[in-house]
Amino acid sequence: MSLAVGLFAIALCAQLAAVYLTIETRTALRDDFRRRAYWATFVVAITGLLALAAGVADAPALISHLRAPLPIAIIAAAMLLGILVLLLLRFDNALTARVAVAAEVTAVLCAWYAAQAPYVLTQLGVVQPAAPHVTLIIFLWTSLIGGIVLLPSLLLLFGVFKRAPID
């Protein structure tokens, strides 16, 4: 099951990236990314069904939780959003497709959460599973330093790739 879920996650990331890049690229590449996003959406549907089938065999408890009304409704919404993404890509509405694909990925995550929520760390509060104070301080400082290092790099990257091409 973990392989099927991993393939599904990779397909979702590929779909998300391809849809987002349809706006960020110029004419020739835009059509290429639109095609890739279109096919990635089909791959998401196939791998999603594969993950569900693997879950029936390997994780019947998880599948029984996914059959509850709330996860079913969220999964149906994700499927409808996938169809909407296909239609929006077909009619070259990349900006709305971007919103729809983000909503689709969010719906997939929400369905997983809705199935798992009653069973994840039910006996613990917010403070009990937290890392020791020293670990949290180290994490805070390394995150701050990492952000200081990463931010100029990201600004340079966006500056280089967002400027108009030299003719």
Closest CA to 100 of 90, 114, 117, 88: 88
Q: For residue 53, what are its two tokens?
A: 């089938």
The model's pTM: 0.76
Closest CA to 99 of 80, 87, 85, 78: 85
Residue 11 confidence (pLDDT):
96
* Residue 47 Cα distances to 78, 121, 160, 161, angstroms: 14, 29, 36, 33
Residue 164 confidence (pLDDT):
67
| DSSP one-letter string for 58-121 | H-HHHHHHHTSHHHHHHHHHHHHHHHHHHHHHHTT-HHHHHHHHHHHHHHHHHHHHHHHGGGSS
Residue 63 confidence (pLDDT):
84
Q: Which residue has the tokens 């403070």?
A: 127
Residues of the chain with pLDDT under 70: 118, 121, 126, 164-167
> 147: left (phi > 0), else alpha (psi -120 to 50), else beta?
alpha
Residue 28 confidence (pLDDT):
78
